[in-house]
């Protein structure tokens, strides 16, 4: 069964993602066998899109977290990161004459 997002038909997960992003997934993920020139052009286009819509990254990240939370919530059960161990402070010795 196909779903519609506005006037657009979304038959697959890829369709949903492309409609959410407003761009083909290949723009962000690349394609097998792309040349260095093709990769550079693709990345330049992606940078232009992000420059034109700086909130796209945050919206996409929120969508990914929301989707993961609904479909694979165990992935979001993250252990807290260990606190870094503070390094002992070194005393600096000043050489010279006080004025």
Whether the CB-CB separation of 26 and 33 falls below 8 Å is answered with no
> Predicted confidence band at 62 (pLDDT cuts at 50, 70, 90)?
confident
Q: Give the mean pLDDT of the chain.
A: 82
pTM of the model: 0.53
Please give the residue that has the higher pLDDT: either 91 or 26. 26
pLDDT at 11 over 70: yes
Of the candidates 53, 55, 49, 76, the one whose C-alpha atom is nearest the C-alpha of residue 64 is 76
Task: Delimit the domains of the chain by residue range.
Answer: 3-76
Please give the residue that has the higher pLDDT: either 25 or 10. 25
pLDDT tens-place string over residues 20-52: 778 888 988 899 999 999 999 999 999 999 899
pLDDT at 1 over 60: no
55-68 burial code (b ≥16 CB/10 A, e <16):
ebeeeeeeeeeeee
């Amino acid at each position: 069964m196909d779903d519609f997002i506005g006037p657009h038909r979304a038959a697959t997960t890829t369709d949903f993602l492309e409609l959410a992003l407003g761009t083909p997934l290949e723009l962000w993920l690349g394609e097998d066998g792309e040349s260095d020139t093709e990769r550079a052009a693709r990345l330049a286009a992606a940078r232009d899109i992000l420059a034109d819509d700086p909130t796209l990254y945050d919206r996409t990240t929120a969508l990914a977290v929301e989707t993961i939370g609904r479909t694979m919530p165990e992935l979001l059960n993250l252990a807290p990161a260990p606190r870094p161990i503070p390094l002992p402070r070194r005393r600096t010795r000043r050489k010279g004459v006080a004025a």
